[in-house]
Amino acid sequence: MGTEEKIINKYFSENDGELSSSITQSWTEQAIECYSINCDCKKCSLKNGNYSFKCQMPRVINELITVLGKPTINVA
Angle, CA of 2, 56 and 59, to the nearest 5°: 140
**pLDDT value for 55:** 84
Q: pLDDT tens across 47-66, in order?
A: 766 666 778 889 999 999 99
Mean pLDDT of the chain: 77
Q: pLDDT tens across 24-45, in order?
A: 889 999 999 999 999 998 888 8
Using CB atoms within 10 A of its CB, is residue 39 exposed (0-12), middle (13-18) or buried (19+)? Answer: middle
Domain range annotation of the chain: 19-76
Contact 35, 71 (CB under 8 A): yes
pTM value?
0.67
CA distance 69 to 2: 44
